[in-house]
């Protein structure tokens, strides 16, 4: 979830508890604890792979959060000079837990049992920036500054409204899951997993995925759409221009009505000795730990350099977005000469030669 929503949710929780003994310091504590788990962003200053490995790790652990709440409650008692430790503890604990729950609602993955387990849990209910959910939280919070006597009740209502919206998204997720399972049954092959991931701008839009032993399939469904929109222009590429409005129109054309979803697919592994060699490297092993639907994007050999690229279909938005592409390059002798992440669609290397 985006940082602003995390921070405000912590503040809303603090005001909903309405503790006069800590006053505005309670709100400050809630805001700070709503933000705290994302302090792991500093890891990205050192190395992108290091950041991906430890983002949403120990700062998001439900096993460690009670200890974080204890420590920060002690800090707030000291700086506010208000001896209300357990009142601070309740605010800190619930604000920290809210951050973890909001991250679990997205599809990125959160290691909530770190350091015992590195498994990434994701409930796949909300897109990482959900304007509807954020609105349920932020607008009552702002109104509370103008209507201070009712602020605690406005904040409680905000939390109830946000929870109701999440329940609504869960219902839509179940509809999308039925859609993708029906497609998977028609493949007549062994299915390893299916998933329905939330999409931007609408709770009715979902990206569906099917992983078989050999391929990964992706399709987009919009439950408000009743008629398929065909692509424009030659070669199936829409002629929609550039800019934000063009991007929104391109995004809109990805989605099909239920029962009419067009699925694209990619082979998980290409028959190539360079792919086999790449899969044995530590960098690619890490990438496969991070990725949810990893596939081989391309294999190219040129001037004695052999480059293999991998992508996670989870993050692919056709013709618009392809982050988290990982590459490895070998020379003719099979020595690894460079590896790292590729920046989006333009192919710029984020991490240089090793």
Sorting pLDDT into bands at 50, 70 and 90, what band is 232? low
Identify the CATH number of the domain defined by range 269-349. Answer: 3.10.450
**Mean predicted confidence (pLDDT) in 302-315:** 94
Domain boundaries, given as residue ranges, for the chain: 3-123, 172-265, 269-349
**Cα–Cα distance between 99 and 36 in angstroms, integer?**
9
- Are 176 and 221 in contact by the 8 Å Cβ rule? The answer is yes
User: Which of 327, 285, 289 is CA-nearest to residue 309?
Assistant: 327
Beta strands in the chain (DSSP E): 191-198, 205-212, 215-222, 264-267, 294-302, 305-312, 325-331, 336-343, 348-349
Range among 227-231, 235-239, 333-337, 343-347 with highest mean pLDDT value: 333-337
| 323 HSE (CA, 13 A, CB side) | 6
Q: What is the pLDDT of residue 354?
A: 30
Sorting pLDDT into bands at 50, 70 and 90, what band is 242? low
Q: What is the pLDDT of residue 351?
A: 37
**Cα–Cα distance between 300 and 144 in angstroms, integer?**
58
Does the CA dihedral 244-343-54-287 come out positive or negative?
positive
- Are 144 and 15 in contact by the 8 Å Cβ rule? The answer is yes
């Amino acid at each position: 979830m985006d940082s602003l929503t995390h921070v405000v949710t912590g503040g809303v929780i603090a005001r909903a508890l309405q503790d006069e003994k800590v006053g505005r310091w309670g709100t400050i504590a809630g805001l700070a604890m709503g933000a705290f788990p994302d302090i792991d962003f500093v890891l990205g200053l050192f190395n992108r792979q290091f950041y991906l490995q430890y983002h949403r790790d120990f700062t998001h652990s439900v096993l460690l959060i009670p200890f974080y709440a204890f420590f920060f409650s002690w800090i707030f008692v000291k700086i506010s000079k208000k001896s209300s430790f357990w009142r601070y503890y309740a605010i800190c604990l619930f604000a920290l837990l809210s951050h973890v729950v909001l991250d679990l609602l997205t599809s990125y993955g959160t290691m909530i049992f770190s350091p015992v387990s590195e498994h990434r849990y994701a409930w796949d209910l909300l897109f990482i920036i959900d304007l509807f959910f954020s609105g349920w939280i932020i607008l009552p919070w702002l109104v509370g500054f103008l209507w201070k006597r009712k602020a605690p009740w406005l904040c409680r209502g905000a939390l109830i409204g946000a929870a109701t919206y999440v329940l609504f998204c869960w219902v839509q997720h179940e509809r999308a899951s039925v859609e993708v399972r029906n497609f998977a049954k028609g493949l007549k092959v062994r299915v390893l997993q299916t998933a329905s991931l939330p999409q931007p701008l609408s709770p009715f839009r979902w990206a569906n995925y099917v992983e078989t032993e050999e391929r990964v399939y992706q399709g987009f469904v919009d439950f408000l759409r009743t008629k398929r929109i065909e692509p424009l222009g030659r070669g199936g590429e829409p002629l929609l221009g550039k800019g934000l409005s063009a991007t929104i129109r391109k995004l809109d054309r990805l989605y099909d009505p239920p029962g009419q979803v067009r699925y694209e697919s990619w082979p998980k592994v290409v028959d190539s000795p360079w792919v086999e060699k790449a899969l044995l490297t530590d960098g690619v092993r890490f990438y496969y730990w991070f990725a949810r639907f990893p596939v081989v994007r391309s294999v190219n050999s040129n001037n004695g350099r052999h480059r293999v690229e991998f992508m996670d279909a989870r993050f692919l938005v056709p013709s618009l977005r392809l982050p988290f592409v990982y590459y490895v390059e070998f020379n003719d002798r099979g020595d690894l000469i460079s590896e790292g992440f590729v920046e989006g669609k333009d192919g710029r290397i984020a991490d240089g030669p090793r």
